Structure 1
Amino acid sequence: MARRRHLISVMAASMLLAAASAVTTRAEDFTVAGYLSWWSAADRPELFDDLAADKLTHIIYAFGAIDEDGEAALADPCSEIDACEDEPQRVDASTTGIPVSGTFQRLHALKQAHPHLKILVAFGGWTGSAPFSSLASTADGRARFAQSILDVFFRPYPGLFDGVDIDWEYPVAGGLEEGTPADRENLSLLLADIREALDGFSDGDALELTVAVAASPGMIALTYPQDLADHVDRINVMTYDYHAGATVTNFNAPLAPIPGDPKSDANIAASMAAWQAAGVAASKLAVGIPFYGRAFSQVSGSGDGLLRPGDPAGTDIWSGDGIAYRDLVTARPLQQGFQVFWNEQAEVPYLYNAVEGVWISYDNARSVAAKTEFARRQGHAGVILWELGSDDGTLLDAVGGTLSKTH
């Protein structure tokens, strides 16, 4: 039976990958939204100078905080708006409300240089989603949170932010905190209230609302997919971390299933097909692309190390919690005894050092281009990238290069 399920999954993914080109998304309609974390922005101010913003349509600033009252708050006022304890905040008189230094000033300058660029502020993430279940459980809580977003991020900095992204990880199933069955409906209600608040606030171009969702087909049932689609501009499917915490080596973000995979639905093609089967149009869905890899340690045996027992914690140097692509390049693994492999079915690279017993799944320019092309050929809304601070420019260039070939 397991063999039969695998064959069915492979066939379904193959059919999806080979779908008719008539649904292809035009390059000019294709969203390229890069998440940018506040900590990357704070630690690497030069990132803004190096960023190829012409290859992006959106930056999703991650994350706004949620305070103990269930209201929006700045994550780090000192780095974001130059409101540090030892000196007063300074505001540029020529740009209403924009501080003279800090992340928000750099985001504003980026928009000035690239007028097409839209910036959304995200809330939640793995470590920031605990307040959602409580604040979304009442009409008053949802309304107060929606209005607080406007009060903290939109009114003080006119024109800086163009929308909101909600990244609740995860309704019902929970993450760092337990979820409740009521989360399923409350997520939809929360999005409806935020949409209403944004529409009421906008006096010009419509403000956008997006939601980040789990990639696992089993997690789709914990939401109301069609309700989500009705309230948001795009649904960002987090098509990565498929085997985080697993004790058998496998790919972080495979495009399609591989032979022998015990989780044959844990891949991008299967996830996007599952969201569509749940009633969401392909054109509403964005495909997630990771700019990081994950390592396993204590892997043994010769060959390529794939589908072998291993420790998902990795090592002090090669982390199982995430290795930024730019750090992976800097570390020069090929000079440290690693062999590089490419899997034709999953369309991803991987590394293995049989002597040290370390196995690494990651994405490179080739796999990023393949995923971007998949999203475009399937008629999807675009791609989301986590996250820009993890790149050295190579992966974003691969996204942009794929699209430029379609003109």
Structure 2
Amino acid sequence: MKQINLFVILFFSVLTSSTFAQKNKKIDIIAYYTGDANLIDQYEVNKLNQIIFSFCHLKDGKLSVDSSKDSVTIKKLVSLKAKNPQLKVVLSLGGWGGCEPCSSAFSTAEGRLTFAKSVKEVSDYFKVDGLDLDWEYPAIEGLPGHLYQAVDKPNFTELVKILRSTLGKKYELSFAAGGFQKYLDESIDWKAITPLVNRINIMSYDLVNGYSQVTGHHTPLYGTNPNEESTDRAVTYLLKQGVPAEKLVIGGAFYTRTWINVENINNGLYQAGKHVEGVNFKDYAKTYTEANGWKYFWDKKAQAPYWYNAKTKTFATSDDIKSIKAKTEYAKSKKLGGIMFWELTLDSPKDGMVNAIYEVKNK
């Protein structure tokens, strides 16, 4: 009887401690970074868990660091780990328009192995912690004119398999996933891929992109109608596919998508317009002012802000401090792996978006 009681006590002790650990596991803050070796010193790196250097590209089928300037930057990022033991530095392949040869290069076993070996060599040389694949997109159209083919989907699976076996378990392996339904349905074999990667970085932004001739929320937490793309829609879909919550990372946008020639109907939301270049978060305060003709709106259902200028008939959509806090609360409540964003140099170095995420993370 004593032995049984002892077993029961031990069992509940383990159960309680593991539950406590899960409950108190804090989400990771992950920054894509396009800056140089000097600019990083302006930012509060101690608040980050991972920096993804953006971007490396394919050269002769191998992972290539494009310039000596990029090499210096990567070495600087790795050096930051000395003061920030929680920090991991990862290299990213591709980006929008940066993966033109990917479909062809990864279409053969030989091509995939050549790439995987080069990733190991480059990672060992720079002492980085892993790789983030940013192929936009396997099996569906990305940048117009780039090759994509149905076989990209199984080839992506084989690519991740050879990367994991070549790199071993100690290296981080992640990929940037489109947050829209066509990608979620057609680009990835979720059941095959999920066990092999550390995390899936959902690009839950550009959900209304620069090719759209109608305005909308480009990075909403929730949809305002059942057919609208949103962060929650992508997360819900992937959880139903069996992806563990702790492997899912949602994305924040530190920049606006902007349209001109937008009529003053519904404050410009869901109206026809012409897409133009947007504004970085660090410039919001001096751009989106009443003196400049702008009005700020908050969509309660979408948990997303937008701006409209009736004088110039201009509409803008993005994340801001309020919405990025809502996304961080969402990540915590769903026990997701973290929140990432595009990208660090668009933030205010102090008291900006990263700080807002950090404050909610540690509440």
Whether the 8 Å contact between 1:23 and 1:378 is mirrored in structure 2 is no
Q: What is residue 171 of structure 2 aligned with on the other side?
A: 207
What secondary structure sits across from 1:156 in the alignment? Answer: helix
Q: How far did 1:27 drift?
A: 5.3
What secondary structure sits across from 2:316 in the alignment? Answer: strand
Gaps of 5+ in 1: 1-21, 82-101
- Decide whether aligned partners of structure 1 residues 24 and 272 sit closer, same or farther in structure 2, where only a CA change above 3 A counts: farther
Gaps of 5+ in 2: 1-18
What secondary structure sits across from 1:369 in the alignment? Answer: helix
CA displacement 1:316-348 (0-9 Å, x = unmatched): xxx1xx422113334354331101111111111
What secondary structure sits across from 2:80 in the alignment? Answer: helix
Which one of 38, 46, 70 corresponds to residue 61 of structure 2? Answer: 70
Q: What is residue 248 of structure 1 aligned with on the other side?
A: 214
Q: In the comparison of the two structures, how many residue pairs are matched?
A: 339
Q: Which moved more, 1:350-359 or 1:281-290?
A: 281-290
Q: What is residue 15 of structure 2 aligned with on the other side?
A: none
Q: What is residue 274 of structure 1 aligned with on the other side?
A: 237
1:401 equivalent to 2:359? Answer yes
Q: What is residue 341 of structure 2 aligned with on the other side?
A: 385
1:123 equivalent to 2:93? Answer yes
- Decide whether aligned partners of structure 1 residues 111 and 335 sit closer, same or farther in structure 2, where only a CA change above 3 A counts: farther
The TM-score normalised by the length of structure 2 is 0.88
Whether the 8 Å contact between 1:217 and 1:265 is mirrored in structure 2 is no
CA displacement 1:190-212 (0-9 Å, x = unmatched): 0111111111xx7xxx1110111
- Decide whether aligned partners of structure 1 residues 298 and 216 sit closer, same or farther in structure 2, where only a CA change above 3 A counts: same
Q: What is residue 172 of structure 1 aligned with on the other side?
A: 139
Separation in 2, partners of 1:24, 1:346: 32
Whether the 8 Å contact between 2:256 and 2:318 is mirrored in structure 1 is yes
Amino acid at match of 1:268: T
Which one of 327, 330, 347 corresponds to residue 303 of structure 2? Answer: 347
Whether the 8 Å contact between 1:25 and 1:377 is mirrored in structure 2 is no
Q: What is residue 203 of structure 2 aligned with on the other side?
A: 238
Which one of 97, 102, 119 corresponds to residue 132 of structure 1? Answer: 102
What secondary structure sits across from 2:307 in the alignment? Answer: strand
Q: How far did 1:108 drift?
A: 2.9
- Decide whether aligned partners of structure 1 residues 163 and 338 sit closer, same or farther in structure 2, where only a CA change above 3 A counts: same
Aligned residues: CA RMSD: 2.0
Whether the 8 Å contact between 2:221 and 2:302 is mirrored in structure 1 is yes
- Decide whether aligned partners of structure 1 residues 272 and 25 sit closer, same or farther in structure 2, where only a CA change above 3 A counts: farther
Q: How far did 1:64 drift?
A: 1.0
Q: How does 1:9-28 map to 2 (within 5 A)?
A: 26=23, 28=25
Amino acid at match of 1:256: Y
CA displacement 1:208-237 (0-9 Å, x = unmatched): 101111111222222101111011011111
Whether the 8 Å contact between 1:340 and 1:350 is mirrored in structure 2 is yes
CA displacement 1:289-331 (0-9 Å, x = unmatched): 111111010011265221221112x2xxxx1xx4221133343
Amino acid at match of 1:166: L
Which one of 298, 314, 317 corresponds to residue 261 of structure 2? Answer: 298
Q: How far did 1:171 drift?
A: 0.4
Q: How far did 1:52 drift?
A: 1.2
Separation in 1, partners of 2:265, 2:175: 43
Q: What is residue 98 of structure 1 aligned with on the other side?
A: none
Q: Share of identical aligned residues, percent?
A: 29
Q: How does 1:61-100 map to 2 (within 5 A)?
A: 61-67=53-59, 69-77=60-68, 79-81=69-71
1:357 equivalent to 2:327? Answer no
Amino acid at match of 1:73: S
Q: How far did 1:403 drift?
A: 0.9
Separation in 2, partners of 1:138, 1:265: 37
Whether the 8 Å contact between 1:302 and 1:354 is mirrored in structure 2 is no
Whether the 8 Å contact between 2:113 and 2:162 is mirrored in structure 1 is yes
Whether the 8 Å contact between 2:249 and 2:337 is mirrored in structure 1 is yes
Whether the 8 Å contact between 1:25 and 1:380 is mirrored in structure 2 is no
Separation in 1, partners of 2:20, 2:336: 9
Separation in 2, partners of 1:195, 1:72: 15
CA displacement 1:24-53 (0-9 Å, x = unmatched): 96454412111112xx226xx2x3222111
Q: What is residue 183 of structure 2 aligned with on the other side?
A: 219
Separation in 2, partners of 1:376, 1:187: 30
More contact order relative to length (CA 8 Å, sep ≥ 6): 1
Amino acid at match of 2:36: A
Separation in 2, partners of 1:25, 1:131: 41
Q: What is residue 36 of structure 1 aligned with on the other side?
A: 33
- Decide whether aligned partners of structure 1 residues 221 and 210 sit closer, same or farther in structure 2, where only a CA change above 3 A counts: same
What secondary structure sits across from 1:335 in the alignment? Answer: coil
Q: How does 1:252-263 map to 2 (within 5 A)?
A: 252-258=218-224, 261=225
Separation in 2, partners of 1:303, 1:224: 40
Separation in 2, partners of 1:26, 1:103: 36
Q: Which moved more, 1:294-303 or 1:126-135?
A: 294-303
Amino acid at match of 1:293: T
